[in-house]
A and B are shown apart, each in its own frame.
Chain A
Amino acid sequence: MFTTGSKLLLGSTVAALIGTLLYGILVGGIMGTVGLVSATAALGTFAAINIFTRDANVSVDDIDAFAGAAAGAERPGSSMWPLAIGLATATITLGLVTYTAIFMLGVILLIAGTAEWMLQAWAERASSDANHNREVRGRLAYTAEMPAAAAIGLGIVIYAFSRVMLGVPSKASTIVAFSVVAAVVLAVGAFVGSNRRISAPKLTGLFAVAGVVLVSGGAVAGLNGEREIEEHHTTAYYAQEGKCGTGEISADEHASQTVAGKASQAATVVLSDSGLTYTFPGLDQVRSGSIQLPRSSAVNILFRNETNEHRRLVADMAPEVEGSPAKICSQLVEEGGVQLLTLNYPVPSFDPSVEANGGYALSVPGVDGARLEVVVP
């Protein structure tokens, strides 16, 4: 029968033959065709010699040895690695003319296939005890194969799924569709879980189908490209650009979902119909006009909007001071909502450069007179 080594050569011969035909039909050109035909012939010859010499293990004249060689003592098991290497060669060739990624994939397949082949070739001849050989192979290979296979599998699943997620539009229908998929997965999982007698092949088939669906879905979505994804700037960006106004900016999306209710803040600033007031947490007294905040210290201010309009709080940080932002603003806050601002004033408010800029203040764009002077001692 075919020895292990001859399988490679035969596989390569077949690959070369296919390559020749494809080249001849699709590309043409006399020189290339001649070269490929020669290669096919050479590979076929090597294959024949190899089969005859039993992978060059024995001399053909030595009949006893020929029969007793380990490679001949027991028929080697079936192997998919020659095929894999053949495939790898083809992929590499394909990759050379198309995409680098495909070339890399071919190389990886080639290395993995070769390693596995060598391992199998060694393991099948480690001893004349097939069981022992199996065990020895498992111990050596599983420690590497299992994690590698798991990583590759997971990688494929994650990548495919992420392509799908990036491809589909972010609409309610998608959410429904995914809910249905999730429900189906759950139902199948529940069925399999409760049905203990389900056979292994069936289960394998199920997973295979799921895998194929996912991977093909990922491939389709990946080729389709990502949907248009909006770019979101932070409030800091808009503050720098001077765009913290009454209107909605993209940083304001999902403002109501921001975690803002931080404990032990320095003050709660409230916008109501009577203007901007503040309280110190725990103290009932409502104050207005000016607020005293420590210098060079990160303080958290909670802004609460009690008007009917959507409003934001802007902290004027006096632009002339080096190293500190000119303005800091909160997201737009709906009625009853709260937002947190973290402020740090490195320079006191009596500094001439600060005074020249009108001093520090907290204000609400669009509301006249909603202003708190910030005193930094």
Chain B
Amino acid sequence: MSHSHEDHERTMSTDVRTTRRLSSVRSSLTTAGLAVTAMIGLSACASNAPQDTWQPAGENAQKIHDLQWPVFTVAGIVGVIVLVFIGVIVFRFRDKGQAIPEQTHGKAWLEYLFIAIPAVILAAIAIPTVGVVLALAETDDTECIINVTGQQWWWEYDYEVEPDGSICGFAPSAGEASPIITSGQVVIPAGTNVLLRGTSRDVIHSYWIPRLNGKRDMVPGRVHYLRLQSDTPGIYAGQCTEFCGLSHANMRMETVVLAPADFQRWLDNELEPYKSPAEGTLAKEGEATYITQCARCHQVNGLVDDKGTDDTSDDTVVVSYPDQFVFSGAAPNLTNLMGRNTFAGASWDLLTPECREDVWEASPEEFGEKYLAGVTEDCLNDIDLREWLRNAPAKKPMYADAELLEPTDGKTRGMPYLALSEDQIDQLIAYLLERK
């Protein structure tokens, strides 16, 4: 218990609003003081599990939280009363040789009373519940629309270009806006009401960033909405919560909240034209390898195949056709891979543990700078990325067995084993490191 008390203190320093409510939970719990309620209540003053459902960091999650803590409290109190009552009965009416009691079926008024009490309590819960349900379904105040599409086992985001040519209310500093496609991490501006329009390409997935909002299933053929909003820059973790097949556990997502100025920088960077690596570098070799090995599924916007010659007449724009190789018909867009710091459905980090901690633990003020630095060569998590390129299905289960791909006509579900040589992997990593 003393440990959790410390946690209290820490939470209070970061988020006063939350803690004020938490302490009221605590005070009611101290009076009640029974194991189960305590366990539920205590998780309110949790330390830093990134998916803690009792640490709202945005307006929507806060609405849910304001509703759930009184309900948990009432449920806890009722539970304690019932359990204490049973305890009293157990001790008071043990067989101590007393006479056989009256054979009565009870008293009507008592029964009505015990129907009325829960009815009143539940009615009291029902009214605000309906209110919050309706409030969370509001879409009028939307300032930014991002489309999110789930597939086995990663999330793709594309940013809607608004009719006025802006994205999320931010106009590009130079040039025209075009749809931005990312995956794994979605970047949103702080203080903006974001509306995710979600669907799926194969099975049902569920989008859930606990600290920003409850979950919402993303169903193929349907478009579902989810509100996201946060005033505090930082990374918020989430996890697909609708069972979606083999690698369900490896389908994660992260929402990155950037201060408006940082978001503008991020946006401009995303819209920058493609820069081919300098001639003669390892990365340039990597570009060629990328075109032969990766580009049939993974799009890099603006990538041009110069056929290894200086003659520009036979240059072709490289367009990938994942629909011919992957069952879901999509593969992550790698244009700015190193601008985000996770890969493979946000299951592994592109940053080394130290660098990752540096970004994740950064204060809201410093966060934007650190995040926008992207993945540098020093910070690159070489181990996981290499393992992935060597044999992806071995790292993340993806129905690699050819026999099981019969129903999909050999189309893979996830990244297949590519039999890349170590040299090719070196080249590719050099090339990918420049994608930011």
Contact = CB atoms under 8 A, between A and B. Distances in A.
Contact of A298 (B160, B197, B220): B220
B221 interface: yes
Majority-rule SS of A interface residues:
loop
B201 A297 contact: yes
A264 B201 contact: no
Interface stretch (A28-36, A73-81, A114-122, A281-289): A281-289
A145 B335 CA distance: 74
B161 interface: yes
B321 A342 contact: no
Nearest to A289: B163
Given A294-B199, A377-B179, A282 B221 contact: no
Contacts of A346: 321, 323, 329
B200 interface: yes
A292 interface: yes
A296 B322 CA distance: 9
A349 to B, nearest CB: 9
Given A292-B160, A294-B199, A297-B149, A352 B220 contact: no
B223 A281 contact: yes
Contacts of A135: none
A48 to B, nearest CB: 72
Interface residues of A, number: 29
B107 interface: no
Contacts of B181: 377
A297 B221 CA distance: 8
A264 B137 CA distance: 13
A266 interface: yes
Contact of A295 (B220, B223, B329): B329
Interface in B212-233: 219-225
Nearest to B195: A283
A264 B222 contact: yes
Contacts of A294: 147, 149, 156, 158, 199, 201
Interface residues of B, number: 36
Contact of A296 (B137, B299, B323): B323
B197 A280 contact: yes
Contacts of B311: none
A307 interface: no
Nearest to B197: A280
B310 interface: no
Interface in A232-271: 263-266
Nearest to B161: A292
B319 A292 contact: no
A347 B321 contact: yes
Contacts of B156: 294
Interface stretch (B138-146, B255-263, B341-349, B379-387): B138-146
Nearest to A263: B222
A347 B319 CA distance: 9
Contacts of B133: none
Given A295-B330, A348-B319, A266 B142 contact: no
A300 interface: yes
Nearest to A375: B179
B206 interface: no
B140 A297 contact: no
B329 A264 contact: no
Contacts of A320: none
B328 interface: yes
Interface string A339-377: 000100011101110000000000000000000000101
Given A265-B223, A347-B323, A284 B140 contact: yes
Given A280-B145, A346-B323, A377 B158 contact: yes
A297 B220 contact: yes
Interface string B158-179: 1011010000000000000011
A17 B181 CA distance: 91
A264 B223 contact: yes
A377 B158 CA distance: 8
B81 interface: no
Contact of B163 (A266, A287, A297, A300): A287
A284 B141 CA distance: 10
A377 B320 CA distance: 12
B139 A299 contact: no
A296 B328 contact: yes
B36 interface: no
Contact of B142 (A283, A287, A342, A351): A283
Contacts of A351: 319
B147 A264 contact: no
B317 interface: yes
Contact of B200 (A282, A287, A288, A297): A297
Interface of A: 263-266, 280-284, 287-289, 292, 294-300, 342, 346-348, 350-352, 375, 377
11 contacts: A265-B223, A266-B199, A282-B225, A283-B195, A289-B163, A294-B149, A294-B158, A347-B323, A375-B161, A375-B179, A377-B158
